[in-house]
Every structure is written in C-alpha cells, then in structure tokens.
Amino acid sequence: MRAVQYRKVGSAPEVVEVPMPEPGPGQVLLKVTAAGLCHSDLAVMGWPEEVFPYPLPLTLGHEGVGTVAALGRGVTGLAEGDAVAVYGPWGCGLCRKCAEGKENYCLRAAELGIMPPGLGSPGALAEFMVVDSPRHLVPLNGLDPAQAAPLTDAGLTPYHAILKSLPKLGPGSTAVVIGVGGLGHLAVQLLRALTPARVIALDVSQEKLELARTVGAHETLLSNAEASERVRELTGGVGAEAVLDFVGVEATLSVAAASVAVEGDVTIVGIGGGTLAVGFGGGLPFEVSACFPYWGSRTEFIDVVELARQGLVSSHVETFSLEEAPMAYERLHAGEINGRAVVLP
Ligand code: NAD
Ligand code: ZN
Ligand code: ZN
C-alpha cells in the first residue's frame, strides 16, 4: 500500500510503497478514508536528530478516519465496513488517568512505549492503518469523513482547552483566540457553541481573519503589538477572561499576557516554544491561571463528534490526494492552508 512517510531527519516527507499491515490480537485494521495534516507534524519534522524521539521511517498522520477493514483476534463490538474516527492519544487503558478516559495523560504510555498514530506509531497518511484497540474508535454516524478527520485533534484539543475555562466564560465575558488555523477556526466555533462569551480572533493573515468571521468570531484583529490595547478597549479595560494561544511564540504570549483579565486564564496550545512568566513581578494581572494542555480525553472526543453531528461545529477543509500530501505540507508550512488540509487516500 501507499503511505506518506518521514524517512530521514531533515528530509521532506515522501509517498512510498510499504507492506500492507495486519491487525494483531485486539487491534483493528482501518481502510483510511480521510487524514488531517497538523502543524505539529511540521514541528516534528523540524526536530534535530539528537532529540528525535520516534523510530524512522514514520508514517505520518495523527488525525485519522476510516472504515473497519479487518478485526484482530478477540475484537468484538465492531463490524467490517463500520465508519469510525480514531482517538489519537493512545494510553495503556488501565492506569488511573486512562480509567477516566484521559489517555492523553496516561501514566504508563512512555514506560510501555505506547505512541499515538503518526507520532511514533504508523499513522493515518496511508491507505490502511492499524488501531491499537477498538476503544479508540468512535462511530461517525453519518458524519462526512473529511469533516470528521480534523475533529480528532483540531477539534478535540481546543474543546479540552475550552472546557477548563468554561466557568469563567459566562454572560458578558470575552475569549481571545490567537491563531485561526486548523485548531483556531474550530476553537472559535466551540466557544460560540459552548459559551455566551464574545469571541475576539487574532491572526497575521487577513484571509484567516475572514474565515474567523465566517465561523462566528465577533471581532477580528491583526495579531501585532497593538492587539492587546484593542482587546482592552473592546472589553472596557477589563481584558479577556480566557486567552487561547494556538501559536505559542514569545510575541503571541506577550499579547496573551497583556490581554488577559484579573483571574483570567491563559491557555497555551501552540507549541511555538515561547514561555510565560507566572509570579509576582511577572507582569500578569492577579490570579491569572496559565496552562499548556495536550490533546483531550476519550469522552471529550465523543462529545466533539456529537457537536459536529448536530451541526454546531464544522471543519473548513481543503482536500488533497495521498500523492499531494507532501505538497500540502509545504503549503501548510507557508501559511497557505485556510482551515485544515485533509488527505483523502
Ligand atoms: P495552523 O498552521 O493550521 O494554524 C496556525 C495559525 O496561526 C495560522 O492561521 C497562522 O496564520 C496563525 N499565526 C501564525 N503566527 C501568528 C501570530 N504571530 N499571531 C497570530 N496568529 C499567527 O496550525 P494548527 O495545526 O492549528 O496548530 C496550531 C498550534 O497548535 C501548533 O503549534 C501545533 O503544533 C499546536 N498543537 C498543539 C496541540 C496540543 O495538544 N497542545 C495539538 C495540536 C496542535
Ligand atoms: Zn496535531
Ligand atoms: Zn494509562
């Protein structure tokens, strides 16, 4: 079968022929119908050899959707042809975090060598993929595969991030979304679906701000040094109860710090490498909470799929063939993808 692989540190991803995988006991083989491209894949492909954590070659793609093609020994509850989306942050399934559905924070994954598809294990950018366990599969129930693929990460990660701030996002509150890309454009919709907050979206691209307005942002601002002053003006000097940063570089974190309200939340989702100083004298308003969440839980993923099925969020996608995936990554790198790039193998 064909797969998109990152084969050598520093080289571009390639479409190659690889052996057809077989599901082991307890595993499920999917015929991939859609796979999303995430900015994190670009980050992974930018890591130097000394710190590169995964075995190579690596089949990319951690946003997968497919139909069940074969069941490994002992798997029940699924049938060939079932359309499903893949929960990506696989854990051991047994520890305390996993028992709560928080496999993204599995206490034993590292020790057991369990890695998400596309981030260590063979991923979804291929004709077929093996999923570790049927518990990672959520039925699409009629949802379009291209629509569903981004939900697995670009939807789930902001959903998890927003839930943490929900108690602060009541009537009259404001949420700021920095970076309206794959994750950000779904974050705007999730904020609108889950909260009465006024949503202010920031990006460096007018095209992306246009998408932000289309999907429900009340206000859009160019992301620059003056942006926080505008946020203060728009909130009568108070600032935003929640700032979600989907870029995470020093410049956006400064905007976040200068935009957040007293007792507000700064949530750093983007892995741009910036850091925020928390503490007296750090310049933040009193009692600001800061966190850097990773992906989301299994139950949250089920909720996100349901929100999409109800039409409350929808992915803005640009689709590509498997052969076009390396080019789509180049376009993502150049900032030319509006919404999410999705490969239909
Ligand atoms: P993307 O490329 O689709 O979107 C990024 C957006 O940020 C683009 O619209 C871009 O124009 C905008 N942007 C760039 N610089 C900016 C700036 N200075 N100010 C405002 N906007 C700016 O990326 P994505 O796939 O949505 O991922 C977003 C980030 O989240 C990446 O860093 C990714 O690695 C990270 N990520 C984290 C998690 C997690 O679990 N924490 C999960 C998925 C992705
Ligand atoms: Zn991702
Ligand atoms: Zn676990």
- Residue range 21-56, pLDDT digits in tens: 999 999 999 999 999 999 999 999 999 999 999 999
Give the tens place of pLDDT for each residue, 266-307: 999 999 999 999 999 989 999 999 999 999 999 999 999 999
Q: Is 39 in the pocket of ligand 1 (CB under 6 A)?
A: yes
Ligand 2 centroid, distance to 46 Cα (angstroms): 14
Cis peptide before 23 (omega within 30 of 0): no
Alpha carbon nearest to ligand 1 atom 35, residue: 270
Provide the mean pLDDT of the chain: 98
Ligand 3 centroid, distance to 98 Cα (angstroms): 4
DSSP 285: P
Instruction: Please check whether residues 166 and 287 belong to one and the same domain.
Output: yes
Instruction: Please check whether residues 241 and 127 belong to one and the same domain.
Output: no
Give the tens place of pLDDT for each residue, 327-345: 999 999 999 999 999 999 9
Q: Which of 249, 276, 291 is the last residue of a domain?
A: 291
Reported for 223-232, long-range contacts at CB under 8 A and 24+ positions apart, including other chains, are 223/178, 223/179, 223/247, 223/251, 223/252, 223/255, 225/251, 225/254, 225/255, 227/202, 227/255, 227/259, 228/254, 228/255, 228/258, 228/259, 229/258, 231/174, 231/176, 231/200, 231/258, 231/259, 232/258, 232/259
Q: Which of 247, 266, 291 is the last residue of a domain?
A: 291
ipTM score here? 0.99
Instruction: Please check whether residues 239 and 285 belong to one and the same domain.
Output: yes
Instruction: Please check whether residues 133 and 264 belong to one and the same domain.
Output: no
Instruction: Please check whether residues 136 and 21 belong to one and the same domain.
Output: yes
Q: What pLDDT, on a 0 to 100 scale, did the predictor assign at position 170? A: 98
* Band of pLDDT at residue 112, cut at 50, 70 and 90: very high
Q: What pLDDT, on a 0 to 100 scale, did the predictor assign at position 39? A: 98
- For 149-153, what is the mean pLDDT? 98
CB 207 within 8 A of CB 198: no
Q: What pLDDT, on a 0 to 100 scale, did the predictor assign at position 106? A: 98
Ligand 2 centroid, distance to 295 Cα (angstroms): 8
Strand 219-222 relative to strand 198-203, pairing: parallel
Instruction: Please check whether residues 43 and 149 belong to one and the same domain.
Output: yes
Q: Is 205 in the pocket of ligand 1 (CB under 6 A)?
A: yes
Instruction: Please check whether residues 148 and 161 belong to one and the same domain.
Output: no
Instruction: Please check whether residues 15 and 137 belong to one and the same domain.
Output: yes
Instruction: Please check whether residues 117 and 62 belong to one and the same domain.
Output: yes
Instruction: Report how far residue 300's alpha carbon sits from residue 239's, in angstroms, rounded to the nearest whole number.
Output: 28
Q: What number does the ligand 1 atom closest to the CA of 272 have?
A: 32
- For 241-245, what is the mean pLDDT? 99
Sheet of 174-178: strand order equals 219-222, 198-203, 174-178, 240-245, 260-268, 289-291
Q: Which of 248, 270, 291 is the last residue of a domain?
A: 291
Alpha carbon nearest to ligand 1 atom 8, residue: 181
Q: What pLDDT, on a 0 to 100 scale, did the predictor assign at position 42? A: 98
Ligand nearest to the CA of 225: 1
CB 184 within 8 A of CB 203: yes
Number of domains present in the structure of the chain? 2
The range of the structural domain enclosing residue 305 comes to 2-153+296-343
Instruction: Please check whether residues 149 and 165 belong to one and the same domain.
Output: no
Q: What pLDDT, on a 0 to 100 scale, did the predictor assign at position 306? A: 98
Alpha carbon nearest to ligand 1 atom 18, residue: 252
Can you spell out the DSSP letters for 124-169? SSBSEEEES-GGGEEE-TT--HHHHGGGGTTTHHHHHHHHHHGGG-
259: domain CATH number is: 3.40.50.720
Instruction: Please check whether residues 323 and 184 belong to one and the same domain.
Output: no
Q: Is 47 in the pocket of ligand 1 (CB under 6 A)?
A: no
Instruction: Please check whether residues 149 and 11 belong to one and the same domain.
Output: yes
116: domain CATH number is: 3.90.180.10
Give the tens place of pLDDT for each residue, 193-232: 999 999 999 999 999 999 999 999 999 999 999 999 999 9
* Band of pLDDT at residue 88, cut at 50, 70 and 90: very high
Q: Is 202 in the pocket of ligand 1 (CB under 6 A)?
A: yes
Beta-carbon neighbour count of residue 319 at 10 Å? Answer: 14
